[in-house]
Amino acid sequence: MNNPFKIAIVSLGIAFLSSCYYDNEEELYPNTNLLCDSVVVSYKTDVDPILQNYCVGCHNANNPGGGYVYDTYADTKNSVDDGTLLGVTNHYTGFSSMPKGGSKLPACELGKIRNWISEGALNN
Ligand code: HEC
């Protein structure tokens, strides 16, 4: 096999591999930046408003559905630490699906919660 032919094969290989990588990235993070800015997530400005909006009506000090409350950071952190916040909101097997009787949170809200947790679930 002569050298130019090898080079052609290698370049084709690189082009093929990089196009695959690009496709996967698109699938893994579909339009994240177009739908919402969920890359850097704050408890106060992103996560707390979502919980207030979708959860606190049934999960507050006077009415702690299933024993869970989302009034404060500390309450919410408990549900992060035992895995229930991710489990119930993503409707994972073995968890009650939340919001109870409602539809799953929009992808953007789920992404914000997920990213906030993977960034360490900070009180930020
Ligand atoms: C309409 C009322 C209602 C809403 C809205 C609601 N919940 Fe619940 N939730 C309940 C009730 C009642 C229970 C206890 C019975 C059960 O587990 O289904 C419960 C249980 C839970 C549990 C314990 C589940 C388990 O598997 O042990 C968690 C965690 C939870 N909810 C989180 C949430 C979160 C997070 C939201 C918002 C995304 C939310 N809930 C919205 C009523 C609600």
How confident is the model over 33-66, as pLDDT tens digits? 445 666 789 999 999 999 999 999 999 999 999 9
What was the pLDDT predicted at 43?
98
Mean pLDDT of the chain: 83
More confident call, 16 vs 106: 106
Q: For residue 66, which atom of ligand 1 is closest to its CA? A: 14
Query: Residue 1 — very low, low, confident or very high, per pLDDT cuts 50/70/90?
Result: low
Query: Residue 4 — very low, low, confident or very high, per pLDDT cuts 50/70/90?
Result: low
Contact assessment for residue 55 and residue 98, using Cβ atoms and an 8 Å cutoff? yes
Query: Residue 2 — very low, low, confident or very high, per pLDDT cuts 50/70/90?
Result: low
Q: For residue 55, which atom of ligand 1 is closest to its CA? A: 37
Contact assessment for residue 47 and residue 38, using Cβ atoms and an 8 Å cutoff? no
In testing the pocket of ligand 1, which one of 50, 58, 71, 109 has its CB within 8 Å of the most ligand atoms? Answer: 58
The lowest-confidence range among 4-13, 37-46, 62-71, 112-121 is 4-13
Q: Which residue ranges have their beta carbon within 6 Å of ligand 1?
A: 54-55, 57-59, 65-66, 68, 79, 84-85, 88-89, 95-96, 98-101, 105
For atom 2 of ligand 1, which residue has the closest CA? Answer: 58
